Amino acid sequence: MSNERAEFTAFFQASWEPCLRAVAAVIGSQQLAEDQVAEAFARAWASWRKVSRHPAPRAWVVRTALNTGASWWRRRNRELPLAGHDLPAAPPGSGVDAALLTALWRLPARQREVIALRIFLDLDTGTIARQLGIEAGTVRMHLSRGVAALRRELTLTSPTEAEQ
C-alpha cells in the first residue's frame, strides 16, 4: 500500500465517527449524514494532496459533507428546527439526557454547526471561524447562544431527573 493510501486509510478510519456525529448533529438525519460523510471522504481522497495539508482536515470533511447534495438547504432552512424523522433514539439505560438532545436539535442550524465543530472535532474558536468563513466574534456569539439554550433546557429539568 502506498504511503498516500495508508495515510488516507488511517485518517478515514480515525475520523469517520467524529465527522459523522458532527454532521448528524447538524442536519438531524443519520441516513443523510452517512451518505454525505461518505461522499465527503471520497472527495477528500480525490483531492488528498490538498486535503492532507489542510490545517483541519476533519473540518474540511464536515464542511464538504454539509455542502454535498443540498448546498443551499441551510440558507433556506437556517432557522427551522429539525424534523427529527430518523434521529437515533437514546439507548435505554444509556444515561443520555433526552432533554439536552431535544434542545440541541431545536437550535438553529448555524448554532448546531458551531457546537458540533467544537465538541466533536475539538476545534478552537479561530479554527471554527476560518472553516465557516465567519468572524471569531460571530462564532463566540453562536456558541454563547447555543450553550444558553442548552442550559435553559437543563434548568427546566428537575435536579432529581437530571441526576438519574
Residues 66/26, Cβ–Cβ less than 8 Å: yes
Minimal distance in Å, beta carbon 57 to other proteins?
Answer: 14
Minimal distance in Å, beta carbon 151 to other proteins?
Answer: 5
Minimal distance in Å, beta carbon 55 to other proteins?
Answer: 21
CB-CB neighbours of 12 under 10 Å: 16
Minimal distance in Å, beta carbon 132 to other proteins?
Answer: 17
Distances (CA, A) of 157 to 36, 82, 101, 104, 118: 34, 22, 13, 15, 24
Minimal distance in Å, beta carbon 68 to other proteins?
Answer: 7
Look up cell 464536515; give the residue: 62
Alpha-carbon distance of 86 to 127, in angstroms, equals: 30
Q: Of 96 and 135, which CB lies nearer to other proteins in the complex structure?
A: 96
Alpha-carbon distance of 65 to 148, in angstroms, equals: 27
List of residues 6+ apart from 52 with CB closer than 8 A: 4, 7, 8, 11
